[in-house]
Homo-oligomer: A and B are copies of this chain.
Amino acid sequence: MPEYLLGIDIGGTSVKIGLFNLEGFLLDKRSIITDRSQNGSHILRDIAVFIKKNWLLSSIAGIGLGVPGPVKNNIVETCVNLGWGITDPKTELNKYFNYEDIAIKVTNDASAAALGEYAAGAAKGYSNVVLLTLGTGIGGGVIIDGRLHEGVDGISGEFGHIVVDKKHAFLCNCGKRGCLETVASATGIARLAKYNLDNTDLSSKLRNMDSFSAKTVFDLAKEKDEVAVLTIDEAADNLAAMLGSITLTIDPDLFVLAGGVSLAGDYLLQSVKRHYPDYIRPFDVKAGIVLATLGSDAGIYGAMQLVK
């Protein structure tokens, strides 16, 4: 008898698997290594084998998957990080399940995180929510009127690649210049700090370091290190510009900041909130801006929501 739901978050390093009851309560969490060899062709097989080894297929009511790439109608368009081209996880998994025809749905990982925070985290009770995942890169998910909005081609919420910074115009992985990701992701913040070390005379402990992470920049900013303060201020300004742009485009009631960079916590939040009014009109109603609360579990919660 079906009594469980699985929420699975496929990342470039590991696959997180959450076991939920039918009410969406998290019962157990596991993870397996993401085998990216041979264009990631073993990943879905590994997941199927793990599931069959641990649970009776007949006890699984549905499986939701979050993947790091654009998804449209449950078909993955591409996943550079996994090596995948167009992929149909539902059909492939069901093949390994001997066509038991388990309900399987798929979405983008940041969309899953948005759905997770909306259903069980920081955005509970709101109905128009935009989540930004601030990690190595920047992604996002959009909830409109209580429903996940993937967009016509599955690229809704790709905030990391919106051009916001023509001043530095750093080259992005995507080939464009000045994408939000180049100045506000973890790698972007480190890059921006290096630029400020090279192009200002401001004092900084960063000058004595061969390399450093975004976390170090945040830590030093909290200690009022001049280059670090400037850098975080610029990163927060670019994030605020993005939130202003989203506000005047779809007017959500809540923004959720998630991902590794959001662990900088209140310092990041207050910096973004300080700049946000510069990018909307004085009489516009400001959307709330909060930090995610589910941490790295947001993806499995949201993936599970797809089949709940």
Chain B residues within an 8 Å CB radius of A219: none
Chain B residues within an 8 Å CB radius of A251: 150-156
Within 8 A of B (CB), among A70-95: 78
The 0/1 profile, CB within 8 Å of B marked 1, for residues 126-163 of chain A is 00100000000000001011000111111111110111
Contact of A153 among B152, B155, B279, B284 (CB under 8 A): B284
Minimum distance in angstroms from A271 CB to a CB of chain B? 18
Shortest Cβ distance from A250 into B: residue? B156
Contact of A159 among B144, B248, B283 (CB under 8 A): B248
Decide yes or no whether A281 CB sits under 8 A from chain B: yes
Decide yes or no whether A266 CB sits under 8 A from chain B: no
Minimum distance in angstroms from A249 CB to a CB of chain B? 6
Number of identical protomers: 2
What's the Cα separation between A250 and B157 when bound, in Å? 6
Decide yes or no whether A167 CB sits under 8 A from chain B: yes
The 0/1 profile, CB within 8 Å of B marked 1, for residues 157-183 of chain A is 111011100110000001110000000
Given A156-B251, A250-B250: A279 and B245 interface contact (C-beta under 8 Å): no
What's the Cα separation between A142 and B151 when bound, in Å? 13
> Which DSSP category, helix, strand, loop or mixed, fits chain A's interface?
loop
Decide yes or no whether A107 CB sits under 8 A from chain B: no
Interface residue total, chain A, C-beta cutoff 8 A? 44
Decide yes or no whether A285 CB sits under 8 A from chain B: yes
Interface core residue of A128, A157, A250, A283 (most chain B CB under 10 Å): A250
Decide yes or no whether A299 CB sits under 8 A from chain B: no
Decide yes or no whether A46 CB sits under 8 A from chain B: no
Given A245-B245, A248-B158: A282 and B175 interface contact (C-beta under 8 Å): yes
Contact of A249 among B145, B162, B281, B287 (CB under 8 A): B162
**Cβ contact within 8 Å between B155 and A144:** no
**Cβ contact within 8 Å between B167 and A166:** yes
Given A176-B279, A284-B155: A163 and B244 interface contact (C-beta under 8 Å): yes
Decide yes or no whether A3 CB sits under 8 A from chain B: no
Decide yes or no whether A278 CB sits under 8 A from chain B: yes
Minimum distance in angstroms from A258 CB to a CB of chain B? 17
Given A279-B163, A279-B176, A281-B174: A152 and B287 interface contact (C-beta under 8 Å): yes
A selection of 17 A-B contacts at a CB cut-off of 8 Å is A149-B250, A151-B251, A152-B253, A153-B251, A155-B285, A156-B250, A156-B251, A161-B248, A161-B281, A162-B245, A162-B249, A162-B279, A163-B245, A166-B167, A175-B281, A245-B245, A250-B250
